Amino acid sequence: MGILSLLLSSILLLHFPIFAICNKQQVYIVYLGEHSGDKTHREIEDTHLSYLFSIKEKEEEARASLLYSYKNSINGFAAVLEPEEASVLSGMDEVVSMFQSHPKRWSLQTTRSWEFLGVEEGEGDGKEHRTSHDEEVSNNIDEKESLLNKAKYGKDIIVGVLDSGIWPESRSFHDGGMGPVPKSWKGICQAGDSFNSSHCNRKLIGARYYLKGYEHAYGPLNSSNDYRSPRDRDGHGTHTSSTATGRRVYDASPLGGFAKGPASGGAPLARIAMYKVCWPFKDKTLAEGDICMAEDMLAAIDDAIADGVDVISISIGTKDTLKYSDDSIAIGALHAVKRNIVVSCAAGNFGPAASTLSNTAPWIITVAASSIDRDFSSPVVLGNGITIKGGSVTPYRLKNQFYPLVYAGDVVEPHVPKNSSAGQCLPGSLSPKKTKGKIVLCFRGEGLRVGKGLEVRRAGGVGFILGNSLANGNDLSIDAHLLPGTIVAAKDATTIYNYIKSHKKAMAKLIPTEVVLNTKPAPCMASFSSRGPNALEPNIIKPDITAPGLNILAAWSEASSPTKLDFDHRRVKYNFDSGTSMATPHVAAAAALVKAIQPNWSSAAIRSALVTTASTRNNLGEPITTDAGEVANPFNYGSGHLQPTRAYDPGLVYDAPTPITFSSCAVPGTKTSIETSNARRHHHQ
Q: Which parts of this chain interact with ligand NAG (CB under 6 A)?
A: 196-198, 222, 224-225, 417, 419-421, 599-600
Strands across the sheet with 158-163, in order? 204-209, 271-276, 158-163, 311-314, 342-346, 365-370, 545-548
Shortest gap between Cβ of 418 and ligand NAG (angstroms)?
8
- 236, 335, 586, 682: which is the annotated catalytic residue? 236
Shortest gap between Cβ of 65 and ligand NAG (angstroms)?
25
- Which is nearer to ligand NAG, 425 or 525 (by Cβ)? 425
- Cα-only R_g, the chain: 25
Shortest gap between Cβ of 220 and ligand NAG (angstroms)?
8
- Which is nearer to ligand NAG, 342 or 398 (by Cβ)? 342
- Which is nearer to ligand NAG, 222 or 518 (by Cβ)? 222
- Which is nearer to ligand NAG, 421 or 658 (by Cβ)? 421
Write the DSSP symbol of residue 446: B
- 581, 603, 608, 639: which is the annotated catalytic residue? 581
Tell me the one-letter amino acid at 572: V
Write the DSSP symbol of residue 678: H
- 125, 134, 156, 163: which is the annotated catalytic residue? 163
In 435-506 the beta strands, taken as DSSP E runs, fall at 439-443, 463-467, 485-488
Q: Is the dihedral of CA 336, 337, 341, 347 positive or negative?
A: positive
Shortest gap between Cβ of 131 and ligand NAG (angstroms)?
29
Active site residue 236: yes
- Which is nearer to ligand NAG, 179 or 599 (by Cβ)? 599
492-495, long-range: CB < 8 A, 24+ apart = 492/388, 492/389, 492/390, 492/467, 493/441, 493/443, 493/465, 493/467, 493/468, 494/467, 495/386, 495/388
Q: Cα(341)–Cα(601) distance, rounded to whole angstroms?
A: 10
Shortest gap between Cβ of 439 and ligand NAG (angstroms)?
23
- Which is nearer to ligand NAG, 148 or 393 (by Cβ)? 148
- Which is nearer to ligand NAG, 50 or 197 (by Cβ)? 197
Helix (H) or strand (E) holding 547: strand 545-548
Shortest gap between Cβ of 189 and ligand NAG (angstroms)?
10
Tell me the one-letter amino acid at 198: S
Shortest gap between Cβ of 197 and ligand NAG (angstroms)?
5
Active site residue 370: no
Report yes or no: 576 and 549 within 8 Å, Cβ to Cβ. no
- Which is nearer to ligand NAG, 26 or 225 (by Cβ)? 225
Pick the closest to residue 161 from 17, 310, 372 (CA basis).
310
- Which is nearer to ligand NAG, 40 or 198 (by Cβ)? 198
Phi/psi zone of residue 250: left (φ > 0), alpha (ψ -120 to 50 degrees), beta?
Answer: alpha
Q: Write out 246-261 in H/E/C secondary structure.
A: CCCECCCCCHHHCCCC
Shortest gap between Cβ of 336 and ligand NAG (angstroms)?
20
Where helices occur in 544-668 by DSSP H, the ranges are: 580-597, 603-612, 634-637, 644-647
Report yes or no: 626 and 636 within 8 Å, Cβ to Cβ. yes
Shortest gap between Cβ of 621 and ligand NAG (angstroms)?
34
- Which is nearer to ligand NAG, 430 or 476 (by Cβ)? 430
Where helices occur in 56-181 by DSSP H, the ranges are: 59-65, 83-90, 133-138, 141-150
Helix (H) or strand (E) holding 20: helix 2-22
Write the DSSP symbol of residue 623: B
Shortest gap between Cβ of 170 and ligand NAG (angstroms)?
15
Where helices occur in 187-316 by DSSP H, the ranges are: 212-218, 236-245, 294-307
Q: Write out 149-193 in H/E/C secondary structure.
A: HHCHHHCCCEEEEEECCECCCCHHHCCCCCCCCCCCCCCCECCEC
Tell me the one-letter amino acid at 544: D
Active site residue 581: yes
SS3 of residue 67 by DSSP: strand
Phi/psi zone of residue 385: left (φ > 0), alpha (ψ -120 to 50 degrees), beta?
Answer: left
User: So which residues are the catalytic ones?
Assistant: 163, 236, 581
